[in-house]
């Protein structure tokens, strides 16, 4: 079984992913892969330099994330160019890792994809868990975690699909408003119901 795990910024998806890892499930982490595909010397990084400018590469050969962020955050066209380079590489590696774990004999593989709905990757998974919190808690956690103002936090939250919309596309929702124990209890109940063997 391929389970997609998603949520929105500061809803606690990473916490649930960590719980799954501790239980022994194999995780394909889209965020981790997005960092791997732009490592120094990678073909993806070379393409970014040729399409968006070699000034985005630091003297160390690494991607200048701050400069890239400033460029794409304010320019939808540049962001689109970046996505056309990076998204196929990320998807290809996600599928490769999933196949690797299945070939190794894993019965259940977790695909941790923050933008599962935004990137329309529902076809990559069989079941979807959405980690959700009340909007007020989401805002508080994000402000505390990233040291943001209310306006900055709201801008980041509204840049993603609302959690309520994601819940509509979920096979199961974990409400992460309470304690870690409550979150883990909900997770265990879902895994048991779906008979998600390791």
Which residues line the annotated binding site for ATP? 10-15
* Dihedral-angle region of residue 137 (phi above 0 means left; psi in -120 to 50 means alpha; beta otherwise): alpha
The beta-carbon contacts of 147-151 under 8 Å, at least 24 apart in sequence, are none
List residues forming the annotated binding site. 10-15
* Beta strand extents in 16-166 (DSSP E only): 26-29, 109-112, 127-132
Burial class (CB in 10 A: 0-12, 13-18, 19+), 12: buried
Kindly provide the residue ranges of all beta strands, DSSP E only, lying in the chain, ordered along the sequence. 2-6, 26-29, 109-112, 127-132, 172-175
């Amino acid at each position: 079984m391929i389970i997609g795990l998603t949520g929105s910024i500061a809803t606690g998806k990473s916490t649930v992913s960590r719980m799954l890892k501790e239980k022994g499930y194999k995780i394909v982490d889209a965020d981790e892969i997005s960092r791997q595909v732009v490592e120094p010397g990678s073909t993806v990084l070379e393409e970014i330099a040729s399409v968006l400018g070699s000034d985005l590469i630091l003297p160390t050969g690494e991607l200048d994330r701050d400069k890239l962020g400033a460029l794409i955050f304010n320019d939808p066209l540049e962001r689109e160019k970046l996505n056309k380079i990076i998204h196929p590489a990320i998807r290809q590696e996600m599928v490769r890792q999933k196949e690797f774990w299945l070939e190794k004999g894993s019965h259940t593989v977790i695909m941790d994809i923050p933008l599962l709905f935004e990137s329309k990757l529902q076809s990559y998974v069989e079941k979807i868990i959405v980690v959700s919190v009340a909007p007020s808690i989401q805002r508080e956690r994000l402000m505390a975690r990233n040291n943001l103002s209310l306006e900055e936090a709201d801008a980041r939250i509204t840049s993603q699909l609302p959690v309520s919309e994601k819940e509509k596309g979920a096979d199961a929702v974990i409400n992460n408003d309470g304690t870690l124990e409550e979150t883990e209890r909900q997770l265990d109940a879902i895994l048991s119901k779906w008979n998600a063997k390791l």
